[in-house]
Amino acid sequence: MISSRRITPTSTYLPRAMLIAVSAFCVSCDLLGGAFDHEPKDLENEISAVAHSLVDQAFEGIQGDALRDYHVHMLGMNTAENGTWVNEEWQSPWSGFLHFFQFEIYKSAAGVTDEQQADAQYLARLKNLIQFMPERGKFGIMAFDFFHDEQGQPNRELSTFHVPNKYVLTLARKYPEIFFPIISIHPYRQDATTALRHYAQQGVRFVKWLPNAMGIDPASNTMQDKLLPYYRIMKEYDMVLISHTGVEVAAEAEEHQRFGNPLLLKKPLDIGVKVVMTHVASLGECEKEERPICSPGTPYIDLAIRMLEDPKYAGLVFADISALTQYNRHHNLDKILEKPSIHSRLINGSDYPLPAINIVIRTRSLVSSGHINPEERDALNEIYDYNPLLFDFVLKRTLRHSKTGTRFPSSVFVQHPDLTTN
Ligand SMILES: [Zn+2]
């Protein structure tokens, strides 16, 4: 294993330049992906006393099944049986090395060794990680819709992967003690409102969008006929829109990066829909062509923080802290930690499997930035080797503002009273 690294998986995706560099010598993608040496079940008996006490401290105030993770991806390649799908381009080295290596790294991180059984192996690994958390809580498992054009037609070529709503709902019903469902319905779909109402009536509360990758402009003027009825149904059933904010690095999103501007989510908010901005919009900034709504050069995260502080959106707008520990985002941690006024609007998300990707989480750089100390780093690296999902949680509980020492309060890691999961 590469013990010098330790990048925490942050919700997102591997930076392109890094992947190019990496793919050039990707002798073993396992080192960059999973790089786990141990089984989750052995953690309890094998980790050091220091690591044990870090885990215990992390669970202070978060006992029983109180823990909540509002951001867990599902994956599979079993189109025939449950509709899970991954773009063929990502599966073959001949159609694009970059995607191929990225995919190899994801598979390794998620414990998938046999593509024929990717869905089953992915699920088994996730359940195994959860089962051996000292306290389990509940994990929101996400469906993921296709890219759709403005005519409402799905486009597989522009989609990275697909996870059907039915699949996550079936799993959430089968394992209600650990999972709750997060569906994904593209609003331009011809059956969008019918499907949305169908799931709302079955008690589903959470809806995931990745606007940059799915081709959704949450504030589009030309698509108002589709968006407004959709938002009204969400409001009617008190549903929650969990929408990616900021530039997207993990899935294909080149042409639609500006759809990650958090200001576009004012559209559903103004109608009264609850919105979770994932990653607190921690990558990217306002570009020239966005001048009508923001001044160029303003980091998206600043726009997101202003929305969280806006009394107009109290009780409506929230943000998840997934991926903030990733090496390309953690410079933003202080900005969020030093604003206690927004802490009651934050919720926990792991963006699993990203925390299990060895190269995106670098505990060494979190020591350099003053967010953890070297002793904590050693203990966290130890935990990672047994259970990357637990590692993600303990890291977020341990890290603190580089100057003031402020930590995320325990309220971030439990069920939010406005975003109840059952
Ligand atoms: Zn995600």
Give residue-wise pLDDT tens across range 12-31. Answer: 344 444 444 444 444 445 55
Pairing outcome for strands 154-155 and 161-162: unpaired
Q: Are 265 and 218 in contact (CB under 8 A)?
A: yes
Model confidence at 332, pLDDT cuts 50, 70, 90, reads very high
pLDDT of 136 reads 86
Q: Is the per-residue pLDDT at 403 higher than 50?
A: yes
**386: exposed, middle or buried (Cβ count in 10 Å: 0-12, 13-18, 19+):** buried
Give backbone dihedrals phi and psi of 34, rounded to 5 degrees, phi first.
-60, -65
* pLDDT at 396 > cutoff 90: yes
Measure 246 CA to ligand 1 centroid, in angstroms: 12
Tell how far the Cα of 322 is from the centroid of ligand 1, in angstroms: 8
Give 308 Cα–ligand 1 centroid separation in angstroms: 20
* Residue 207 Cα to ligand 1 middle (Å): 13
Q: Does 3 reside within a domain? A: no
The CA 46 to ligand 1 mean position distance, Å, reads 31
> Ligand 1 centre and the CA of 367: distance in Å?
25
Alpha carbons 33 and 110: distance in angstroms, whole number: 8
**Residue 238 · residue 274 · CB < 8 Å:** yes
Is pLDDT larger for residue 5 or for residue 105?
105
Q: Is the pLDDT of residue 97 over 90?
A: no
Residue 73 Cα to ligand 1 midpoint, Å, equals 6
Structural domain containing residue 45: 16-413
Predicted pLDDT at 43 = 95
Query: Does residue 111 lie within any of the structural domains?
Result: yes
Which residues have CB under 8 Å from 119's CB, separation 6+? 75, 76, 77, 78, 81, 82, 84
Is 93 a domain residue? yes
Asked whether the beta carbons of 228 and 206 are under 8 A apart, the reply is no
Residue 5: its pLDDT value, please?
A: 31
Q: How many helices (H) and strands (E) are present in the chain, helices listed first?
A: 17, 12
Judged against a pLDDT cut of 80, whether residue 6 lies above it is answered with: no
> Cα(252) to centroid of ligand 1, in Å?
13
Overall average pLDDT of the 394-416 stretch:
97
Do 22 and 103 touch, CB atoms closer than 8 A?
no
Å from CA of 297 to ligand 1 middle: 25
What are the angstrom distances between the C-alpha of 310 and each of 265, 287, 306, 318, 334?
13, 23, 6, 11, 20
Ligand 1 centroid to Cα of residue 196, in Å, is: 21
Q: How far does residue 217's CA lie from ligand 1's centre (Å)?
A: 18
- Does the pLDDT of residue 380 top 80, yes or no? yes
10 in a domain, yes or no? Answer: no
CA of 72 to the centre of ligand 1 (A): 7
Residue 4 within a domain: no
Element (H, E) at 234: helix 224-236
356 CA → ligand 1 middle, Å: 13
- Give burial (CB, 10 Å; 0-12/13-18/19+) of 263: buried
Q: What percent of the chain has pLDDT over 70?
A: 89
Query: In angstroms, what is the span from residue 286 Cα to ligand 1's centroid?
Result: 21
Q: Mean of the pLDDT values across residues 388-393? A: 96
Q: How far is the CA of 250 from the centre of ligand 1 (A)?
A: 9
Q: What is the pLDDT of residue 250?
A: 66
For residue 22, the model assigns a pLDDT of 42
Question: What's the mean per-residue pLDDT of the chain?
Answer: 89
* % residues pLDDT > 90 (the chain): 77
The CA 48 to ligand 1 mean position distance, Å, reads 31
pLDDT of residue 248: 81
Give the mean model confidence (pLDDT) for residues 197-221.
97
Find the 38 Cα to ligand 1 centroid distance in Å: 25
Task: Give the count of domains, the chain.
Answer: 1
Cα dihedral 53, 125, 323, 327, rounded to 10, equals 80
Mean pLDDT on 367-390: 96
Residue 422 counted as domain residue = no
> Which pLDDT score, from 0 to 100, does residue 4 have?
32
Task: Measure 285 CA to ligand 1 centroid, in angstroms.
Answer: 19
Query: Of how many residues is the chain composed?
Result: 422
Q: What is the CATH number of the domain that holds 83?
A: 3.20.20.140
Q: What is the mean pLDDT of residues 213-225?
A: 97
pLDDT at 272: 98
The identity of residue 361, as a single letter, is I
Q: What is the mean pLDDT of residues 113-118?
A: 90
Instruction: Give the environment of ion ligand 1: residues with CB less than 5 A.
Output: 11, 351
Tell me how far the alpha carbon of residue 10 lies from the centroid of ligand 1, in angstroms: 8
At residue 91, the pLDDT reads: 78
User: Is there a cis peptide before residue 292, judged by omega within 30 degrees of 0?
Assistant: no
